[in-house]
Structure 1
Amino acid sequence: MHTDTRDPVIAPPDIAVRLEGVSKVYDAGAAPVTALRDVSLAIPKRSFTAVMGPSGSGKSTLLQCAAGLDRPSAGRVTLGGTDISALKAKQLTVFRRDHIGFVFQAYNLLPHLTVARNITLPLLLGGHAVDKAWFDHVVSAVGLADLTGRSPLELSGGQQQRAAIARALITKPDAVFGDEPTGALDSRTGRQVLELLRHTATHLRQTVVMVTHDPVAASYADRVLFLADGQLVGSLERPTAQAVVDRMSSLGEW
């Protein structure tokens, strides 16, 4: 059982991520596939949200559309006050680099760069100066303050994922998106990463949105959103692992 460090209420009324009537249809030849159907939702700033659903429910497509990795076929996605669904391709690429953090199952660290250079890479690519105070704060928060001069290959899997989280935070993004961020980790290391994501929302005051299939991982969030057949079918506030299991069981096969 993890220690619950959440605020009693998700208080901020301001919104980090908003989807309005978002649908996504993939042209799969003779039979187009609808991955999302008229999804509308709002995610508060400085909160931790998990997204769950059975296989094929559209949860990864939801994350990709919300994070600007894919464009919706209909509807609007607003992130940090910017309508990203209206941006042109080059504008969207720059916006993602400067305003969105990503944490995936694969760490995507560059082995020929030090940990410090990997973390600050989004800033360097954008031609932005590194805020040393924020860098020191972030690497301390993720537990890598003494390892920034090492190569990623000298780190454990959990430490590499911590570096990926630090890289996601270095630009002070409007939101950090995670797609199964603990999927490649053992249970103990995965728990440490989840505690770090929880810390990211509660203490670093960042917005975290995570897709997961794991009820225990979802229990670290402030709220769980449930998808089925491409539609938002419910949510759960202040979830426990058992409550998530019960809700998922009602949605059918995982």
Structure 2
Amino acid sequence: MSTQVLSPPVAAVRLEQVTKRYGSGPAAVTALRGIDLALPRGAFTAVMGPSGSGKSTFLHCAAGLDQPTSGSVWLGDTDISRLKPRALTVFRRDHVGFVFQAYNLLPALSVEQNITLPLLLAGRGADPGWLDFVTGAVGLADLRGRRPSELSGGQQQRVAIARALVTRPDAVFADEPTGALDSRTGRQVLELLRRTAEELGQTVVMVTHDPIAASYADRVLFLADGAFVGHLDRPSAQQVADHMTHLGEW
């Protein structure tokens, strides 16, 4: 009887020896130094590090918003670092969700129109069942006809999260998603991101400077001087804060 060999599951996000340099010659700045990372589907990962450690550069390279100087970035089974600009734009629109700190909602559009905007730009209609599910999951089922000006900051961030989910992306990237929110609303958004990973199986990658925010993640990765220098699994906020105090040693 033959033995079937199963291939390992494809990681949702994979970086292989990724470097990023800005400028050239003696004035060049290396923001990322040979990053290797694989994140499974359904994981909620936080990335922390001091100012200038490379957090934003990492997030932008992983999400396809910036091109690495060398190395490969994979989303699912696609090497996005090899795509030409137009192809990358189309791929990112269909396969990447991004949650900005500033929400980036269009004030003239309703909640539902803001959520489905990526589909409109792609010339696709929304799946009514999935749209109902997403808006319900983020607590916006009764607010779909409102404008952003009629919403609280937390509700606007929920719209941004729903917009990031509506295309069923390979991964959702969040850049300081609670930075402009009060602590109570921030907790609600973080709980939503965690439920998104746990209940929807969505891969979430979040950059944050806040140990409390990081403690909601399954794993916290620490960056220093453009390289990962450690991690904690399911840590408390105090454990994250304690770890951050030692990053200066790197």
Give the TM-score of the pair, scaled to structure 2.
Answer: 0.94
Distance (whole Å) between structure 1 residues aligned to residue 160 and residue 10 of structure 2: 27
Please say if 1:82 is aligned against 2:78. yes
Equivalent residue number for residue 25 of structure 1 = 21
**Which residue of 1 is the match for residue 189 of structure 2?**
193
- Report the Cα offset of residue 235 of structure 1: 1.1
Q: Work out whether 1:213 is the aligned partner of 2:209.
A: yes
Aligned residue pairs: how many? 242
The CA deviation string for residues 127-166 of structure 1, in whole angstroms up to 9 with x for no partner, is: 1121010000000010000000011111010000000000
Q: 5 Å matches for 1:110-125?
A: 110-125=106-121
Give how far 1:83 is off: 0.0
Gaps of 5+ in 1: 1-11
Residues 1:181 and 2:177 are matched in the alignment? yes
**Structure 1 equivalent of residue 238 of structure 2:** 242
Task: Find the aligned partners of 2:161 and 2:10 in 1 and give their Cα distance.
Answer: 24
Question: Which structure is larger by alpha-carbon Rg, 1 or 2?
Answer: 2
Unaligned runs of 5+ in 2: 1-7
Where does residue 168 of structure 1 map in the other structure?
Answer: 164
- Is 2:53 the partner of 1:47? no
SS of residue matched to 1:234 = strand
Deviation at 1:177, TM superposition (A): 0.1
Q: Work out the CA distance in 2 between the residues paired with 1:49 and 1:92.
A: 24
Q: Which residue of 2 aligns with 1:9?
A: none
Q: 1:14 Cα shift? A: 3.8
Equivalent residue letter for 1:35: A
Deviation sequence 1:232-253 (CA, Å, 0-9, x none): 1111111111111111111029
- Give the Å deviation of 1:226: 0.6
**Cα RMSD between the aligned structures?**
1.3
Distance 1:134 1:157, change over 3 A: same
- Partner residue of 1:61? 57
Residue identity matched to 1:160: Q
Give CA deviations for 1:48-75 in whole Å, capped at 9, x if unaligned: 0000011100011000000000000010
State TM-score, norm by structure 1: 0.93
Which secondary structure does the structure 2 equivalent of 1:112 belong to?
coil
Q: Deviations over 1:64-93 (max 9, x none)?
A: 000000000010000011000000000000
